[in-house]
Every structure is written in structure tokens, then in C-alpha cells.
């Protein structure tokens, strides 16, 4: 079976970590883009068809929670996985309450990464499928009314 790559955007101010995570995701067969702050994340989402954002919580300037709010407001179909160190797991849970799919504890081992990226992709596909079905029902109802 051919794997269709998940389009992942990695957002973290630690460049070494971004490089390592991007490499792992590419090895998993995903299509990876990376930026180093929240503002560039929003700009990137505008012009690109991204499925999943992996978003660091602690970043200078716009932090991960602020970026998450903005992503959910402007790109509600994009799934977000929060990235956190041991000290900020509470913020990660807050992120989930704001609509993030899940969170990953740094350094993000390969099993959790695989599981969470696949889970986020699946949730996005199921959501899109429900919307398509609802649109078809709506259309059929309109046709029936003619």
C-alpha cells in the first residue's frame, strides 16, 4: 500500500530540535515544513495545505498557546499537537482544552510521534468526511425541495 504523506508543519524556536524532529518525520514518510516562531507559522498556514502542526509551547514573542488560539480561529480544520518540556505539561493540557489534538513531551520519542501524528491525521480526515456527508445531505434535501 502506498502511504499518502501527512503534511506536517513543525514550529519551535530550538533549531536543533526542529532539525531532529523534521528528520524523524521525513523518515516516517511525512512531508515536512518548519518555522521557528508563531507568526511565521500563521503565515505558512495561509499559503499551504497543512494537515498537522506540531507546536512548541515556549517560544519568544507569540507563545504556543497564543499561536494555537489563532490557528483554531483562522484554520479550524488544521490539527495541532503541542510540544512541551516536563515543566509545562499543564499548558499542554490547557492547549487541548483550546482544541489541540494532543501533546508530545520533548524529546518526543519516535513511537509517540508516530502515534500522535497518525491520530491527528485520522481525526482531520474523519472530520472532513463528516462535513462532506453533511454537504451531500444538504444538497439532496435542496434537490428534493425543487
- CA Rg, the chain, in Å? 17
Report the residue from 13, 33, 70, 94 that binds Mg ion according to the rule CB under 5 A. 13
Which residues, listed in sequence order, are joined to residue 103 by a DSSP beta bridge? 82
Q: Nearer to Mg ion by C-beta: 58 or 72?
A: 58
Q: Nearer to Mg ion by C-beta: 6 or 37?
A: 37
Which region, judged by CB under 5 A, interacts with Mg ion, from 5-13, 86-94, 107-115, 116-124? 5-13
Q: Which of residues 104-143 bind Mg ion (CB under 5 A)?
A: none
Which region, judged by CB under 5 A, interacts with Mg ion, from 12-20, 35-43, 60-68, 101-109? 12-20
Cβ–Cβ under 8 Å, residues 54 and 14: no
Within 10 A of 29 (CB to CB), how many other CB atoms are there? 11
Q: Which of residues 35-74 bind Mg ion (CB under 5 A)?
A: 56, 58-59
Which phi and psi angles does 108 have, rounded to 5°? 60, 80
Q: Tell me the residue nearest to Mg ion as measured from the CB.
A: 58
Q: What are the C-alpha distances in Å from 15 to residues 3, 49, 68?
A: 28, 23, 20
83 by Cβ neighbours in 10 Å (0-12 / 13-18 / 19+) ranks as: buried
Q: Nearer to Mg ion by C-beta: 83 or 121?
A: 83
Binding site for Mg ion (CB under 5 A): 13, 56, 58-59
Amino acid at each position: 500500500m502506498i502511504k499518502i504523506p501527512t503534511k506536517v508543519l513543525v514550529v519551535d524556536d530550538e533549531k536543533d530540535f526542529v532539525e531532529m524532529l523534521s528528520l524523524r518525520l521525513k523518515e516516517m514518510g511525512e512531508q515536512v515544513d518548519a518555522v521557528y516562531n508563531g507568526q511565521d507559522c500563521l503565515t505558512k498556514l495561509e499559503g499551504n495545505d497543512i494537515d498537522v502542526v506540531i507546536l512548541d509551547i515556549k517560544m519568544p514573542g507569540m507563545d504556543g498557546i497564543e499561536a494555537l488560539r489563532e490557528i483554531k480561529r483562522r484554520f479550524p480544520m488544521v490539527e495541532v499537537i503541542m510540544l512541551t518540556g516536563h515543566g509545562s505539561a499543564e499548558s499542554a493540557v490547557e492547549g487541548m482544552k483550546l482544541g489541540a489534538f494532543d501533546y508530545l513531551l520533548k524529546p518526543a520519542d519516535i513511537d509517540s510521534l508516530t502515534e500522535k501524528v497518525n491520530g491527528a491525521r485520522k481525526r482531520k480526515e474523519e472530520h472532513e468526511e463528516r462535513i462532506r456527508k453533511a454537504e451531500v445531505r444538504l444538497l439532496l434535501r435542496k434537490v428534493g425541495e425543487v
